[in-house]
Every structure is written in C-alpha cells, then in structure tokens.
A and B are shown apart, each in its own frame.
Chain A
Amino acid sequence: MTQAATRTWTELKPQRKASVPEGLWLRCPGCGQMIYRKQMEANLHVCPECQHHFRIGATERVRQLADPGSFEAMFTGLTPTDPLKFRDLKSYKDRLLAEQIKSGASDAAVAGTCFVKGRAAMLCVLDLSFMMGSMGSVVGETVTRSIEAATQRSLPLIIVSGSGGARMQESGLSLMQMAKTSAALGRHDDAGGLFISVLTDPTTGGVTASFAMLGDVIVAEPKALIGFAGPRVIQQTIRQELPEGFQRSEYLLKAGMVDRVAARAELRSELARVIDYAGK
C-alpha cells in the first residue's frame, strides 16, 4: 500500500457487469428486429441480422482481442481521487463510487500485455461503461504508462478507444492528460514504436484530439461516431441538419481521417497483419 488508502469499492465487489439490459431477447437498434441475446453475444456482440456493432466493455474487448489466457493486467492499483472536490448535481466522489460498484472497475481504462494471434503486444482499452470512458487522471496515467511500457519493451501498442472525451470533473487535470498521452506517443514514435489506434463507437472530444488520432495506423469499427465536437454542439453552431452519416467511420474513411474500417470479426486479423508489417 502506497500513498493514500484504497477505496471501499474493492471490498464491495459487484456481482456482474450490466451493459446491455437483461432479457432473453432484445431489439437491435440497427435493424429494429428482435434478436436472441445469446446469439448476438456469441457473435462478438454484433447483430447477426444487420451487423450492428453493440458497444462492449473493456473486459469483453480484451477477451475478443487477446489470445485466451494471454492477457496480463498492469497498473491495476490506480484509483481516482477527487482533486477539485467537484460537485455538480451530484458529487464526483459519489459518482465515482457508484460507477465503481456498478462496473467492478476502479476507472475507465484496462491495460496489460497480451498476445494477438501469437504476436506479443501492449493492449490498453477504454471502458465506455465507466463514466462514458471519459479521461481523467487515472485514464491518462494508464494510457501513458501503457505507451511507456510499449516503448521500453519494444512492443507494438494497441489502444482501443471509446470515450466521451476528457472528464469534466477533473477539469484542467483532465485536459493535461491530453498533452501527457500525446507527448508519450511522441517518444514512442522517436523510438520507432508501432501504435495501432482502434476507434469504436463513440470516440469524441479530448480523447480523439489526443492519443486516439495519433495512431501510425488507425482502424475504426463500422458506423462508429468519431469526432472532435459532438453532433449536438455542431448542430447548435451551424443551425442546420447534419448530413447523413456525418462523423461516422465510413465518412471519416472518405475524408481521409482513418486508414481502415474493420468489422469486429476481422479486428484480430487486422491487428496481427499490421503488426507483421510494421512491428519490430
């Protein structure tokens, strides 16, 4: 135990993760059809009818990308504090505790080493189910340490982003995580390290405007919302309807902002292939 005491969430072990509402069947937001939950889950959380990619948490993402049993978690002792004593309608402290109990995680990032189809890699995943995957000090520190570890060990780095952006409740300190993570990527780049950035629905704000858009290769999941400003903010600024598909992966591909759009089923092969071409 270093520094301050750990928080009570570790004792209050949550029972289960609650990402998709429970039930045997659910309606797919993509095609509107009733689909069998187990079938959807077995299909990497993708609708078997229309290929709608459901949002998934970090644990499921790691399970999908890492070779079975190969993931070794790192930096798991990091816990957020409330440096600004932030309070809106609810205090940040209470919000954190509620999120920690609900998710069983201390914050919105998971990191560790693993193998992807036999290729060693450093993997870091943001977790949308924890405060919309927002980046405060702990997420920024986890991402930065992952980058530094990848540089030191000459490992290819994979970061899977899904985030509403910088976390307001840590204000300026969240903003500084953008500089911190980007600067670490500068050093990774100087050392000749590979960084593959995977963008999932949604990736916006301060996460997009820092490490997420700095991949040597950027791969986006189909139809993911990716942008700097959120669609609502843009709409309020320009006071007109946004074009169909605006800020979605396929649009970004056309605009020249991402390298590839890859379905979830192809993602492991995509990563392995890029590592083969560009990894050390």
Chain B
Amino acid sequence: MTIHLVSMSFFQLDFEKPVLELDRKIESLESLLSRRSADANRPAAANGLLATLNPTVEVPPFAADQAESLDLDESDGAALTDPAAIRARIASLRAEREAKLAQVYTSLSPWNTVRVARVPKRPQTRDYIDMMCKDFCELHGDRRYGDDPAMVVGFARIGSIKVLVVGHHKGRTTQEKIACHFGCAHPEGYRKALAKMKLAEKFGLPIVTFVDTPGAYPGLGAEARGQAEAIAVNLREMSRLRTPIVSIVIGEGGSGGALGIAVADRVAMLEHAWYSVISPEGCAAILWKTANEQTNSAAADALKLTARDNLKLKIIDELIPEPLGGAHRDPKKTAAAIERWVLDRLHELKGINPATLPQQRYERFRRLGSFTEAVA
C-alpha cells in the first residue's frame, strides 16, 4: 500500500507520468521475476501472465493496473515466461526510463521547476543538516518573543570547519508543517537568525544559510510584531557582518522572506530551485487578475525565476546541479554536492580579512540592477 501512496503523490508532477509508468512496468516485472523463481517448479506458472496475476493468488492490491500495463506490450506476453527474457526486458525498460527522466528534467518549464522545488519529498534544511553536519548544536529563540520552528539555527561542523547554520524549514510531518507554517517564518524567526549570526561574527564562525521559503508569513501576529522591520534589519545587518556568509537556495526562494537570510558573499541555487520577488501565483493573481494553471505558468516564465535565469542576471554566483530527476531522488548526492560547494567557497573566503568582507559584499549587491543613464 505504501508504494501505491507514493506513486499517487508523485502524480502531483504530471510531467513525470511517462517515467512513473515505466517505473510501474519495471516494478511489476521485478515482482513477476521473483515469483517466477519461487514458482519455478509449479506447472501453473507456465499458464501465462494472467494466470500469474489472477487476484485469487497472492498479488498486490494494484494487480489490475499491472496487468493492464503489462498487456500494453504484446510481445511481452510470450517472452515473459522465460526469466532471462524478463531480465532483458527489465534492463531495456530501465534504460528507457533513465533516458525519459533525463529528457523530462533537462527541459522543465519554469512553472514545472517551481513544482519540483515544492515536491514534499524534496530534502529540507534539517535533512541537509543531518546529511552534511556533524555535532549540530541547535540554538533556539530570539530572546524577545519566542522560538520560530520555521527558522533553524545552530552551531555545526561541516567537514572540519566550524560554522553557524541558518535555514528555513518547512516541516516533514503534517504536525511539523503546521508548526513551521510550511516554511513561512515570523519576525521572531528572522530575529533569532540575526541574533545567532551576530554570535557567529563575535566568535569568528562563518555562516551557511539554507533558503527554502514560499515567503515570510503574512498574518496578524507577524504584522503586529514587525515582519517588515525584522526582514529589513536582517538585510542591513547581514550586509555588515564581519564573517564569511554563503547561502544556498535549496528549494523556494520566495521574496523578502528568502532574502532575509541571503545577503551573502556567495550565493548559489540548486538546479531546480526558484528565486524571485514574488511567487508565480501571487504574480498571476495581481498582473493576470487570476491565478490558474495557465496564468501561473505564464507568470513563472515572465519572472525569470529559475537558477539559470538568476545566474544570468548575476543575482546568484553559481548553480549546483541536482542528481538526475531532482534532489528528492538522491538526497545524499545532493547534500554531497552542496557540501563540496560550501567547503570550496569557505576555503576561498577564509583568505579574505573579515574586516574587508562587508566592503566586498556591499559591492556585490551594489552592482545589481538594470538602467540607463543620460548625462543631464
């Protein structure tokens, strides 16, 4: 049943459907193969495919689907009695699947990129901390109001380097998601992040931030406690921290809520993350007057929110490639790629006198913008 649920949730990404159909074919052939070896001595096994998949025999609940998908290929009917032939068929389907997955993921539209960035199984800040960091020492609370679980902060070691890690967290279980407001931080989250970043400056630790938020939380309490002020202060203070800062947009880089922890010396994006001034839905609702699949897609195109676009605009310095089919298909490999990037950048920044870092960081952001100027 769990397999079934996973494939259902995967269908949120309709563009992956051809790949998932191949996955199912492969899965059912694999189970057929194992049954073949188990039933090798039983005469019933020779009666063909449908006999094997007869619901009176032990079969998974989605047997009907399997039979259908297997029936699609007529040539398989005869060949499938021979384990060697099944194995060959599985191998060719696997090759076909890899090619299909590569094709789908190298030609993702901007809107589909946004959808990949939001896949529930996509690794989050705490996952990367688990995979990349040793001896994580979480630091809670802003000493003013509370402790926002949508912002994770703490000391950690990456490789042999001691750092302060800061990141938005969306939550993995339903309960955690609700507590984290799905990755939308409150002012106390931004204030906690800044308070600990100042500790990092004081103790000479570089800062690594993971950006993954649809945006800062738009609610009564957030407004009353100064959401705008909290973000603004982070922008100003991060720009003048005398310690190296590197940021990675790992999923969603939604507007000021993302930037609030991303005023860094070096900024990277994962290949299928997005980073923009507003979400496609928000943009569509305002400029297209309605948010639906079509206008969201048009807005995503117009906003130039992909990693490649942001790299072209020099908003980010580097794009970190994801494993084939997205970070969620191989979190460990993704974490390793991020870790390598972080260590390289920190090594490079270590050579710069911390006192001069704010000047260079200032110049990095000072350059951004596009205009012409006529001499008066």
Contact = CB atoms under 8 A, between A and B. Distances in A.
B226 A210 contact: no
Contacts of A278: none
A187 B358 CA distance: 10
Contacts of B375: 1-2, 77
A3 to B, nearest CB: 5
B75 interface: no
Contacts of B138: none
A54 B69 CA distance: 68
A89 interface: yes
B372 A3 contact: yes
Interface stretch (A28-36, A80-88, A122-130): A80-88
B277 A138 contact: no
Nearest to A87: B302
Contacts of A84: 302-304
A212 interface: yes
Interface stretch (A59-67, A113-121, A152-160, A175-183): A175-183
A232 B350 CA distance: 46
Interface stretch (B44-52, B101-109, B234-242, B331-339): B234-242
A176 B367 CA distance: 10
Contact of B362 (A2, A78, A79, A187): A187
A213 interface: yes
B232 A213 contact: yes
A209 B232 contact: yes
Interface residues of B, number: 60
B317 to A, nearest CB: 13
Interface stretch (A17-25, A233-241, A267-275): A233-241
B183 interface: no
B218 interface: yes
B125 interface: no
A228 B227 contact: yes
Given A176-B315, A176-B368, A171 B303 contact: yes
B237 A234 contact: no
Interface string A234-259: 10011000110011000000011100
A183 B263 contact: yes
Contact of B235 (A1, A4, A183, A234): A183
B28 interface: no
A167 B231 CA distance: 18
Given A175-B277, A185-B236, A168 B286 contact: yes
Interface residues of A, number: 68
A174 B375 CA distance: 24
A186 B288 contact: no
Contact of B237 (A168, A170, A186, A209): A186
Contact of B236 (A140, A167, A186, A238): A186
A166 interface: yes
A76 B376 contact: yes
A100 interface: no
A238 B217 CA distance: 11
Contacts of A144: 366
B223 A88 contact: no
22 contacts: A78-B372, A78-B373, A79-B371, A79-B372, A80-B370, A88-B287, A138-B369, A170-B277, A171-B303, A173-B313, A173-B369, A174-B277, A175-B276, A175-B277, A180-B368, A209-B235, A209-B260, A228-B228, A229-B218, A229-B227, A255-B224, A257-B229
Given A88-B287, A141-B371, A210-B232, 14 more contacts: A1-B375, A3-B372, A76-B376, A79-B372, A89-B287, A168-B286, A171-B305, A172-B275, A176-B315, A189-B236, A206-B255, A214-B232, A233-B218, A257-B226
Q: 8 smallest A-B Cβ distances: which pairs?
A: A229-B218, A183-B239, A137-B369, A182-B235, A83-B370, A88-B287, A208-B228, A228-B228
